[in-house]
Structure formats: C-alpha cells, structure tokens
Amino acid sequence: MLKVLVVFGTRPEAVKVAPVIKELEKYPDEIECKVLVTAQHREMLDQVLQLFNIKPDYDLNIMSQNQTLTQITCRVLEGLESILQKEKPDLLLVQGDTTTAFAASLAAFYQKIRVGHIEAGLRTDDIYNPFPEEVNRRLISVVGNLHFAPTTEAADNLIRDGIEGSGIFLTGNTVIDALFHILKTSGEDLPAPITGRLTPGKKYLLVETHRRENLGAPMENICRALLRLTRDFPATEVVFSVHKNPLVREVVFKLLENQDRIVLLDPVDYPVLIKLIKKSFLVLTDSGGIQEEAPSLGKPVLVLRKTTERPEGIWAGCAKLVGTDEEEVYREAYKLLSNKSAYSKMSEVKNPYGDGKAAYRTVQAIKYFFGLNKRRPRSFAV
C-alpha cells in the first residue's frame, strides 16, 4: 500500500489539489491518501474543503492575525515533524508556491521523504517578483522528486534548472479540472445578495488583486484607473472582490467605497467566483488561478503584475500583462471596452492551461513512479 500525504494551507492550493485528492481516493486498494491542512488561510480554506467534501486527517490551524513569513514557516516545520515521523508517508504532495508548500517540502526533506510538486516549473526569473512565491517554488524543485508540470514551458524550465527529466510529468493544470467540476455541479445564478447589488444590463469588470508586491501605491494606481473607466463608460460596472488582507482593504475602501457603479465584495466562495468570471465582460487580476480559469470561460484577462509565471496565456493572446501603472491599466481596459475586434481576438483563444484530465495524469504518474503502473502516462498536449 502506497501512502501519500497531501499538504496544503490556502484556498488556491485547496482548489487545485482537490481534484488530485479525489483521484487518489479512487484507488483504495493501492493508495492510502492522508490529508493535512496548515490553515495558513482559515475561512477561505474551509469553504473549499466543504465544497469538495474533503475531511483533513490533520489540521495544524496555524493562522494568526498579521502572521509573518517566518512565523508561517516555523509553525509548519514544527507542526509537521511529529506527524511525518508517525505516518512515514512514501510521498508528501504539495501544490504551487505558498509558504506552506515550501515549508512542508523542507520538513519532508529533513525526514528523507519523497516530495511531489503539483504545478511545478513556473518561473518569472525575478526572485522578488512575485514575493515570496518565486523562491518558494524554486526551493521546492530542489528537494522535489516528482515534478508535475502544467505546461510545456514549465517542463522546459525544470529541465533548464537541471531537474532530471525522468521525474518530470507534463499533466496540464488541475485548476481546469476543478473548474469543470464546478461548471457541472453548480447552477448559473449568483446568490441573491450579490445580484441585488449589481445593476441589470451593465457590462461588468471583475477585479481581484491581493499580491504583496501590489500593496500600497500600485493598488492605489489600479483603483484610480477603475474610477476613470466607470466615469468614461457609463454602461460599465466594476465588481471588486476585496481580499481579507487589511492592507488591501485599507486602500480599496478608501478610494472606491460608495463610488458610483463600483461594487465591493468580500471574498466569495469558489463556485460564486467562477460564476462571476463567467458573467463578466473582462477580468483584471494578479491572481495566478484566475489567469488560468478565465480563458476557459472566454474572458480576456488583464494581468495586474510586472511579471507572470504563466506566460502561455500571454503568448496565446487570451491574457495581457499590463502592470499597475494607472495609465497602462486604463488604456488596455479602454481598448477592450471600445474595440470589438480587439475583444474578440482575446476572448476566442483556446485555453492553453489544461483539458480537465490533469488529476488523472498526476495520479497515474505517481503510480508509475512507485512501480504500480508499467507505462509512463501520456503527456498533456494543447
């Protein structure tokens, strides 16, 4: 019996790892799947656990107000030590580039436990942008044994970094698996409290921005661009999902609260987020997951960052890197709101990130690595 311990702590991790957990559970005679959450984020994490009916075997519950990266790292390392010694898993599975993922991988390395990394190989080649995610994912690659790359570019990055090709598996991104699941199981309508705040007949711009590098002046620039857009396009409404981070909320509410045709929402459940993307005209975000989800729903994405580790959307033409300069954000959104041809060009591009079978490929790769399958799984192809 192969024992796999899956570790995650935030909502984006939970969304992307949930399809893999469900796939692992399909092989009870071969694989014992254990789940540990750190609760680096608490409330938003719990929403996804309930949505996918995942019941953790362990909950470190490390979240505290205004916690630092050092505190998160230390709490995860200390919390995992005794659990790893007790469970002795064959594989510790992490997702993405959070501090939870990095610290859990390091804890496994200290116990000489193999590490599998979902969404491996993403790079910006700037260690401070995004911070700390770029270094987190690089360090996971150093101690990792199985690297589940979502795209060819990500796989190439791993090879360039000196990772053995035998441990790299091209799977597609599991977020598309999660998206397809929600589209099948969730209805079309938004919750009444949200619908009641939207103006019927308006085109709305969905906004979500929260990254550390965008706090302060960059966030102010984004907000000023949004104000200009609502003033210049009376048929447009901004729907802003405002992160729980007090530093985000301080800026956003100061500049945008009580402004005409700007709706400020608390972070919504994942199915509601998908519905908001689907009903939107355009998405402006610094979120990695939304960069991947929106193209599946035919929505152009303006990426509110200087760099992105997901260049495939930029190359395909369904996303555009616009940074946080007020004039640039305004100009690019203006173009899509006023130019039907430019909008169509972005909205009709095929999603380069996945086909809904990434979790299957991931689990088949794990079975292959540990000798439960004789054949290496086929790679994802756009």
Interval 259-304: pLDDT, tens: 999 999 998 989 999 999 999 999 999 998 899 999 999 999 999 9
117 forms beta bridges with 94, 147
Q: Which superfamily does CATH assign the domain made up of 192-347 to? A: Glycogen Phosphorylase B; (3.40.50.2000)
Q: Tens digits of per-residue pLDDT, 92-144?
A: 999 999 999 999 999 999 999 999 999 999 999 999 999 999 999 999 999 99
CATH 3.40.50.2000 in the chain, residues?
2-173+354-369, 192-347
Provide the annotated active-site residues: 97, 119, 133, 210, 212, 243
- Give the integer Cα–Cα distance in Å for 346 and 350: 10
**Tens digit of each residue's pLDDT (9 = 90 or more) over 34-56:** 999 998 878 778 989 999 999 99
Q: Which pLDDT belongs to residue 151?
A: 96
Confidence (pLDDT) at 244: 86
CATH 3.40.50.2000 fits 2-173+354-369, yes or no: yes
- AA letter at 51: L
Helix (H, G, I), strand (E, B) or coil at 368: helix
Based on its alpha-carbon atoms, the radius of gyration of the chain, rounded to whole angstroms, reads 20
**Its pTM surpasses 0.95:** no
pLDDT at residue 249, rounded to an integer = 95
Residues 141, 10, 152, 308, Cα dihedral to 10°: -100
Q: Which residue has the tokens 């702590």?
A: 9
Nearest CA among 285, 303, 210 for reference residue 248: 210
Distance CA 361, CA 168 (A): 12
